[in-house]
Structure 1
Amino acid sequence: MARHRNVRGYNYDEDFEEDDIYGQSVEDDYCISPSTAAQFIYSRRDNPLEEEYVSEDRAHSNYCISSHQLTGVEKAKLDLCLVRMKEVLGESVPEKVMIEALLNSRFDVQQALDSVLSQNSEQDMKTKDDETMSGGKTTKGKVRDSQTTRVESDVVPKVTKMTVSRKKKPAGFEVPCVTAEENGHNAFTSQKGHSAGDANANMGVVEILPKPAPPSQTVQASEEQAMVPTPVKKSGKTKQQIDVKAELEKRQGGKHLLNLVIIGHVDAGKSTLMGHLLYLLGNVNKRTMHKYEQESKKAGKASFAYAWVLDETGEERERGVTMDVGMTKFETKTKVITLMDAPGHKDFIPNMITGAAQADVAILVVDASRGEFEAGFETGGQTREHGLLVRSLGVTQLAVAVNKMDQVNWQQERFMEIVHKLGQFLRQAGFKELDVAYIPTSGLGGENLVTRSQSSELNKWYEGKCLLEQIDAFKSPQRSVDKPFRLCVSDVFKDQGSGFCVTGKIEAGYVQVGDRLLAMPPNETCTVKGIALHDEPVDWAAAGDHVSLTLTGMDIIKINVGYVFCCPKEPIKACVRFRARVLIFNIEIPITKGFPVLLHYQTVSEPATIRKLLNVLHKSTGEVTKKKPKCLTKGQNALIELQTQRPIALELYKDFKELGRFMLRYSGSTIAAGVVTEIKE
């Protein structure tokens, strides 16, 4: 204790020089000493005017209360009513005036408020009349009074109508016509204040907020106030709505967009054919092509040089087969082509379905070599299965590239044999003869790809189009730009900056930078930070575009391949149970209730179970031929109910054809194709 006494009684002036400042440290540039701190402490005793005003007001209030000889209950009631009036009027009206009004109205808050407000309104009008009579001139002694009147008139006299009720009614008031400059800082109405206004309406209180009022104490304006013009805060980043159809015509010089998938049996030469096509078009420079040739020779696969244009991964080049869907872009005279090279191996059919589901048209590549075409076309080959898959997924236009014709010396007989066999099968699959074209080609030699062949053997009997001319002749499908936005995720990866990226094809609608999107089925919202179309940043993208979206405001772990981004106002439905109409393909065992299948939908691959067999339908008319069948066999058209293990985002086929188709596979083969007719849950 002695140590503390010494400190308190210590004379600091003896230890510091004149330049030293008490409390100064090395890091501080200023200080406040104990002796000077008193000037910052407010004391009501130092303000005699306020003390006199407060004491006089309290004395007058006590006199009013004592003069009426109130009981304890009446005093409590008076305090409660006084609190309610202060919540409405604040400090704009003296307490003595409010007490007198409450005592005169027998504690009726509404009547007391009306009398106080009417008195202040009359005083304000009288003050304005006096100012008008005196020509707006005031003496120096009236400066303070005029300022006080102006402050009070900003809060009270503008209120001419008020409803105070203990019932739950919206409280409203009228505001005279004022300029935006005078009323711009007093925004009384806000959406966040509705709940507070309703709660106070139950208490019989209406809040009127002065200038510094917090947003939690707002009130709901009446219908009369809605007529008063109020300033609207405009954001500097206001998104401009675009005319998508007009912009699509302007983009790429008026060329139409077309999504093209390359399909066919393994080793039919799909990657080599399209790689050589891209090289001849100038999309791959000579230096890069020379590099591929040297590397393929070192690997002992010299003939795979052109295939490496699309097969970019080391595993694909080492194994010599396409494993994933390769994607690139090239242009013809009238179209911008998004090229997707699908794998042909049986093990990678799910990847092929992903590519085919995003395509508008297709090129079916077949090997013209003796024995090779038959191996792909017979049972177990991928030529038949790929043809059925693309037709079931909505592709109606097809070009058949009869590849490796140089190995059969461009024989017309071999070409016509292949055309006859394929034509019969494609008609059964649902393709129209006018929508199928047959073109003899040589992917390795580059014959009949970009220009018509100069080979004398081919020119003797073939006078049709080359492959590029046929691609340019495809009809562009109708884009669903008027429908709500839909994008199915095909890949997810982390961005270099904030947020993450998703890639996929926009199936419907359009998107702009800054849009809010909803991800289903996780039901999470995010914001579009950036859009890239073929690795080029753009401000918007529409239906048919393969885009990469940079998203923020959402965790990347909540997004998987197969999820659908949609418009929050018109979301896509997520379910685990739905009904569908299916067409059964060539199956070895009949399908029964409880049959396990693998559901392929867009980029989704989800295990599912056939829960019910509802009806067998007629193929052409769709009429019910048999109810509740016990099994389904080859070639039947039926209505079934499916149940998935996890929720998936689906659309009805009648609303969104692109998002209403699916495939069913079992034990490594495709057993059925279907369309969604009803979403259960």
Structure 2
Amino acid sequence: MARHRNVRGYNYDEDFEDEDMFGQSVEDDYCISPATAAQFIYSKRDRHSSFTEPLEEEEEEEHNDEELEKQKASNIALSSVDQARLFSCLEHMREVLGETVLEQVMIDAALKCQFDVSKALELVFKQDSNTNTSTEPVSQDLLSTGKPAKGRSRDLTSMEAQNEIVPKIAKMTVSGKKQKMGFNIPSTASEVNGQAVPLSAKSQHMDDIVEESESTVPLPTQINTSQGSDELNAISQVKSSGKSKQKINVKEELEKRQGGKQLLNLVVIGHVDAGKSTLMGHLLYLLGHVNKRTMHKYEQESKKAGKASFAYAWVLDETGEERQRGVTMDVGMTKFETKSKVITLMDAPGHKDFIPNMITGAAQADVATLVVDASRGEFEAGFEAGGQTREHALLVRSLGVTQLAVAVNKMDQVNWQQDRFREVTSKLGHFLKQAGFKDSDVFYVPTSGLSGENLAKCSQIPDLTSWYKGPCLTDQIDSFKAPQRSTDKPFRLCASDVFKDQGSGFCVTGKIEAGYIQTGDRILAMPPNETCTVKGITLHDEAVDWAAAGDQVSLTLTGVDIIKINVGCVFCSQNEPIKACTRFRARVLIFNFDVPITQGFPVIIHYQTVSEPATIRKLVSVLHKSTGEVVKKKPKCLTKGMNAVIELQTQRPVALELYKDFKELGRFMLRYSGSSIAAGVVTEIKD
């Protein structure tokens, strides 16, 4: 027969008559060690006697310590220059000490050493070593103020508990704000703004002050608090003054950073299968940016895939789909250096289906390299109707590129014949002049992407050297003139990619069109009209503190939801934001388009990295091509070759600038049914 306990008659209160313990499970009491229990468990009967009295003594000492109040007040009375020096010194000290030392201790050390970082660190280490070697128990006053407490000593049990708890709270101290651990310690009331409030309410009030100071909101000047709020007031004022960073001299810093080399953004364009990726991949290999081991790997993998001739193209075509199809689909980006330039290379797709991606790359370029196939029949296929050679050249010219290097590729397949080279250059030269390129800004270089002839150094082949005495492709790129950077204008960056990275925040990539940016700056994203903070800046896979106009950067942003940021958003200065509108007027040049353009005609606007559906709302006037005078008002339709003023209506807001203010952000392209029909510049923003 089973045994049964006398459950109904059992008196459970006898086991817990002595003390009512808080924070401890009855069943799991054997799992908690005495040392751990000392931190979190205390008696309900003894809690007033063990915690309240020392806190009352501390508050009395805070009110009576006039010397400490004067020391805190001296921090507030610092000039703006000294506050900036103090903040800079504290940043360096935090990098070494982390959060192991209270901020007020670091401030005192910095002031004593007159903002000398090395001396201040030595002083803190000496104080730390003196504290560690002393055999006296550390009180809460010594940790928070650096001075021993006055008054009677505490009893042994409360001191042991304090020694267990206080260091953990000190380690959690960030910017003078203590995070709550374990339980709330009840205490007597204190005064804030002349009214008696509990200690928990006082700490909440102090937390609010810190949060306001960190968001650069001015602190209230009349706060009748004790020593703790004075300390927070001093630290937060130093922090708020330090956040207004000193402006940098961008031109001087650019020269220092690049070693005197100028920055140049180069886009490679041309008809599909002209050999763009192979040409630039072989160039990077010859310049040492791709090692032999990696190149050997590409050769073996391309042979297995049945595309042995695409080995050099795989340097820039990195995705599996691009390698499988043998066609560049997205803009590949990398960096290389010449004798006097730092080149950001963008390999644009040549296939007709990926013209929008090509426009994205061309909109970020300063100069271009047009690659044409010199083989019999291949050049004609790319240059005549249906090929992309004409369209690519016209697009880059419409997007502001004025300097062009024409790489006449695959010359080895025609045995380096001078007659074929002249035939190709004469046809191209006539068209490029019509497109708006000057003869003095267009250069022709015979090359072979597969064999690497005349790429990184001048070729020694007799068939070529007998008639060509010009530079190789690298030397020709090096001779390009770098454009003037708009570093003195407000900050502008158009997002070309948005992605989530490791850690907090997310990343946005793009080219800085104007101005400059530093880490810690707050910027505005348009058209969502959201503010965010720049947590980090990456330039060519290297973390930097600042970046300027012309740089292709990746920004790590915090303070905004990634869902609100899309490709095409323009990040700008808060003081001088960019305008977002759905209706604007523009001056356009109609390309060779057979369909008449009328009111209500649907188009796709390609602006920087934006592709937005729009409608031609109004045909304002037709202009003279050379003088710009109004020839006809309110025309019924526009045909090829016309120069006109039109009004466009977009479905969603688009961030735009006037062409006269920002040339980089005032250009756009119009496409319809897979064809580029017009190029335009913004003349007036309606709403």
Separation in 2 of the partners of 1:527 and 1:490?
18
The residue that corresponds to 2:275 in the other structure is 269
For 2:611, give the aligned amino acid: S
For 2:586, give the aligned amino acid: A
1:591 counterpart SS class? coil
Matched, 1:460 2:470: no
The residue that corresponds to 1:595 in the other structure is 601
Do the aligned residues in 2 keep the contact of 1:653 with 1:675 (CA within 8 Å)? Answer: yes
For 1:397, give the aligned amino acid: Q
Matched, 1:518 2:524: yes
Unpaired runs of 5+ residues, structure 1, are 1-9, 43-154, 156-186, 195-207, 216-229
Match of 1:314 among 314, 320, 330: 320
2:419 counterpart SS class? helix
Match of 1:394 among 400, 409, 427: 400
The residue that corresponds to 1:490 in the other structure is 496
627 and 450 in structure 1: CA distance in 2 versus 1, 3 angstrom threshold: same
Do the aligned residues in 2 keep the contact of 1:273 with 1:443 (CA within 8 Å)? Answer: yes
Matches within 5 A, 1:600-615: 600-615=606-621
The residue that corresponds to 2:561 in the other structure is 555
CA positional deviation for 1:495? 1.2
CA positional deviation for 1:252? 2.2
The residue that corresponds to 2:285 in the other structure is 279
Match of 2:238 among 231, 234, 238: 234
1:450 counterpart SS class? coil
The residue that corresponds to 2:477 in the other structure is 471
Separation in 2 of the partners of 1:298 and 1:41?
79
CA positional deviation for 1:34? 6.6
CA positional deviation for 1:214? 13
Separation in 2 of the partners of 1:36 and 1:419?
94
Match of 1:565 among 571, 591, 599: 571
For 1:234, give the aligned amino acid: V
The residue that corresponds to 1:423 in the other structure is 429
1:610 counterpart SS class? strand
214 and 533 in structure 1: CA distance in 2 versus 1, 3 angstrom threshold: closer
The residue that corresponds to 1:122 in the other structure is none
433 and 497 in structure 1: CA distance in 2 versus 1, 3 angstrom threshold: same
For 1:526, give the aligned amino acid: C
CA positional deviation for 1:515? 0.6
Separation in 1 of the partners of 2:312 and 2:50?
87
Separation in 2 of the partners of 1:509 and 1:375?
43
Match of 1:378 among 373, 376, 384: 384
Do the aligned residues in 2 keep the contact of 1:278 with 1:330 (CA within 8 Å)? Answer: yes
2:371 counterpart SS class? strand
For 2:238, give the aligned amino acid: K
Do the aligned residues in 2 keep the contact of 1:576 with 1:646 (CA within 8 Å)? Answer: yes
The residue that corresponds to 2:508 in the other structure is 502
CA positional deviation for 1:240? 3.6
1:625 counterpart SS class? strand
1:289 counterpart SS class? helix
548 and 41 in structure 1: CA distance in 2 versus 1, 3 angstrom threshold: closer
Separation in 1 of the partners of 2:283 and 2:50?
87
For 1:545, give the aligned amino acid: D
2:237 counterpart SS class? coil
Match of 2:261 among 252, 255, 264: 255
Query: Computing the radius of gyration over CA atoms, which structure comes out larger, 1 or 2?
Result: 1
1:330 counterpart SS class? strand
Separation in 2 of the partners of 1:21 and 1:370?
103
Separation in 2 of the partners of 1:321 and 1:650?
33
Matched, 1:534 2:569: no
CA positional deviation for 1:209? 6.3
CA positional deviation for 1:514? 0.5
CA positional deviation for 1:419? 1.0
CA positional deviation for 1:523? 0.4
Separation in 2 of the partners of 1:547 and 1:463?
38
The residue that corresponds to 1:365 in the other structure is 371
32 and 449 in structure 1: CA distance in 2 versus 1, 3 angstrom threshold: closer
Deviations 1:609-655 (A, max 9, x none): 00000000011111100000000001000000001111110000000
1:364 counterpart SS class? strand
Do the aligned residues in 2 keep the contact of 1:403 with 1:442 (CA within 8 Å)? Answer: yes
The residue that corresponds to 1:126 in the other structure is none
The residue that corresponds to 2:347 in the other structure is 341
Separation in 1 of the partners of 2:343 and 2:431?
27
2:357 counterpart SS class? helix
Do the aligned residues in 2 keep the contact of 1:663 with 1:674 (CA within 8 Å)? Answer: yes
Separation in 1 of the partners of 2:478 and 2:415?
27
Q: Return the TM-score normalized by structure 2.
A: 0.69
1:234 counterpart SS class? helix
CA positional deviation for 1:241? 2.5
1:531 counterpart SS class? strand
Separation in 2 of the partners of 1:379 and 1:596?
24
CA positional deviation for 1:242? 1.5
Same amino acid, percent of matched pairs? 77
For 1:394, give the aligned amino acid: G
CA positional deviation for 1:400? 0.4
Separation in 2 of the partners of 1:524 and 1:469?
45
Separation in 2 of the partners of 1:257 and 1:246?
14
The residue that corresponds to 2:672 in the other structure is 666
37 and 360 in structure 1: CA distance in 2 versus 1, 3 angstrom threshold: closer
Match of 1:656 among 644, 662, 667: 662
38 and 397 in structure 1: CA distance in 2 versus 1, 3 angstrom threshold: closer
303 and 40 in structure 1: CA distance in 2 versus 1, 3 angstrom threshold: closer
For 1:291, give the aligned amino acid: K
2:431 counterpart SS class? helix
For 1:541, give the aligned amino acid: A
Do the aligned residues in 2 keep the contact of 1:23 with 1:31 (CA within 8 Å)? Answer: no
Separation in 2 of the partners of 1:495 and 1:651?
30
Matched, 1:574 2:577: no
CA positional deviation for 1:300? 1.1
Number of residue equivalences = 496
Separation in 2 of the partners of 1:546 and 1:514?
19
CA positional deviation for 1:35? 11
Unpaired runs of 5+ residues, structure 2, are 1-10, 54-193, 195-212
Separation in 2 of the partners of 1:425 and 1:596?
29
1:395 counterpart SS class? coil
CA positional deviation for 1:431? 0.4
The residue that corresponds to 1:443 in the other structure is 449
The residue that corresponds to 2:143 in the other structure is none
34 and 269 in structure 1: CA distance in 2 versus 1, 3 angstrom threshold: closer
For 1:316, give the aligned amino acid: E
Matched, 1:414 2:416: no
For 2:398, give the aligned amino acid: S
2:432 counterpart SS class? helix
What is the RMSD computed on CA atoms of the aligned residues?
A: 2.8
Match of 1:641 among 637, 642, 647: 647
CA positional deviation for 1:380? 1.4
Deviations 1:270-323 (A, max 9, x none): 001111100100000011111111111111111111111111111111111100
Separation in 1 of the partners of 2:46 and 2:486?
78
For 2:331, give the aligned amino acid: V
Matched, 1:305 2:308: no
Separation in 1 of the partners of 2:650 and 2:463?
55
2:585 counterpart SS class? strand
Separation in 2 of the partners of 1:639 and 1:604?
22
Separation in 2 of the partners of 1:403 and 1:433?
20
Do the aligned residues in 2 keep the contact of 1:22 with 1:33 (CA within 8 Å)? Answer: yes
The residue that corresponds to 1:119 in the other structure is none
